[in-house]
Every structure is written in C-alpha cells, then in structure tokens.
Amino acid sequence: MTPQLAPTRTGILFVCLGNICRSPLAEGVFLGEVVRRGLGDRFVVDSCGTAAYHVGEAPDPRSCQVAAQYGLDITHQRARQLASADFARFDWIVAMDRANARAIEQARPSGARARVARFMDFVPDSTSQDVPDPYYGGPEGFERVYDLLRRGAGRLLDAVLAERAQEAG
C-alpha cells in the first residue's frame, strides 16, 4: 500500500496590537469559516500582538461576548507577542491595521518568506484600510469589528486557497 503523506497545512496568523480585541476575534471568525468549508485539517490558524501589554491574558470580555453572540468560543485563547519564529511557521501574516503591518515588517527576519497582508484588502467596498481598534470604545465597536471580519474572512480564504492551487501547479 502506498503511504499517504499528510497534506501540508497552511498557516495563517492574525496580528493586531494587543492580541486581546481584534486578532482573537479574527482567529475565531476565520477558523469558523475554514471549518464550515470542511477544511479544518488543512489550516493552522493563530493570532498574536505586536506589543506585549497583555501577554498571557484571555481575550477582552467584549470580544468574547460578540463571538459568543455568533456561536464562536474564543475564551481559550491567550495573548502572545509576535516572534521571529512566526515568520517561518506561518505562510500568511494578516495585519488588522496599517500600523500593525509596519510593525510586522520591522520584525521580519532577513530572508523570511511569510507573506504580510492587510485584512481590509479582503473586505469588499471598504472605505478604510484599517480594522478600527475598539479597545477604548463601547461594545458597538466590537460589533463593527465582527462585521468587518465576517465580510472579509471568506475572501481571504479564497485568496489563500487560490495561491495554494497555483503553487501546486
């Protein structure tokens, strides 16, 4: 019998500043989309922050609440800071805003191949280039973040799958 090789998993890392508001929600929404399409065994999905302010903490209760409202449990996640190893572990590093994207590029080890993308590039008809930081606002900001993530997740997954298909020839 020919041994079956396990398919290579594509790594997607979502990055914001604190890893307690936007990127944990992005991780939950994107993973939900991956699982909904039956692709759970083909992806590794994670999130982190460019800053270390909240390392080890669970997501902000307002993120957990909006996630729960839409059937997602993100309470097990714990904040961590972006590390050099992430540039080798992940194929795509997806920034929530432009400041995050700049910080990611500054942290990139020389020669690291990971592709850095901005999430808002996958949200149709968006007027902003940033997923707005809801940390200092009310719960409506978290609803807005969820809505943007929901609108962009499918298109981001389509883009990742298209790139994978192209690489496979």
Q: Which residues are catalytic?
A: 16, 22, 133
| Candidates 16-24, 110-118, 122-130, 148-156; binding stretch for ligand 4NP (CB under 6 A) | 16-24
Name the residue nearer to ligand 4NP (CB basis): 16 or 67.
16
Q: Tell whether residue 22 is a contact of ligand 4NP (CB under 6 A).
A: yes
Q: Tell whether residue 16 is a contact of ligand 4NP (CB under 6 A).
A: yes
Q: Tell whether residue 135 is a contact of ligand 4NP (CB under 6 A).
A: yes
Handedness of CA 7, 162, 130, 138 (dihedral sign): negative
Whether the Cβ atoms of residue 11 and residue 29 lie closer than 8 Å to each other = no
Residue of the chain from 10, 13, 14, 21 that contacts ligand 4NP (CB under 6 A):
21
CA angle, residues 65, 96, 139, in degrees to nearest 5: 25
CB of 104 to ligand 4NP, least distance (A): 13
Number of alpha carbons in the 13 Å side-chain half-sphere of residue 140: 0
